Amino acid sequence: MTSPYNRGVSLDINTPRGQKSLEYAQRCAEIWCSHNPGWQYIVTPENSDSSIDGVLVDPGLTVRAIVEQKSRDMSRVQLAEFKDEWLVTMDKLVRASGVGRQLRVPLVGFLYLIPDECLLTKQLADAEGLFVAKFRVDRTTTQATINGGEAVRANAYIDMAGAKEFTARS
């Protein structure tokens, strides 16, 4: 299945791994909403290649932030072993911060750590689209998509030290 928004490219979300990632993204949203009563986390269409993953809407129904969301199969301890850095493609950060600038809202990163059911959040850019989080950029070879492959690209390694932590509520 393809979307008119992705110019005929088959999306990885339509594969079994992609479908599992949707489940993790939903769990991430549930955790955030459970800690922020009255707020909504509204996702972009899963079958599009949107520059953002979702928006945060306050109880008065005003968009207050946009979200870049990723799920990783690593614990908080394992993330610390990777210098507390979250890898996001630089192109994705630039595009998302541009959307935030257009909407005049900040870009927030949501990193869901699957084994711990822990959500880390950090403001990445302000409402003018200027980056506010500390990160380094390096050209590296990484997995191309959730389904594998390799890609050489500029990647941002975002410092997650000091990120807000939310855990699942029983």
**122's tokens:** 């950090």
- Segments making up each domain of the chain, as ranges: 4-161
pTM: predicted TM-score of the whole model, two decimal places: 0.86
Q: How far is CA 141 from CA 17, 80, 151, 163, in A?
A: 21, 21, 5, 26
Is domain 4-161 annotated with CATH 3.40.50.2300? no
Model confidence over 14-43: pLDDT tens digits? Answer: 676 777 888 999 999 999 999 999 999 999
**What pLDDT is stored for residue 83 in this prediction?**
94
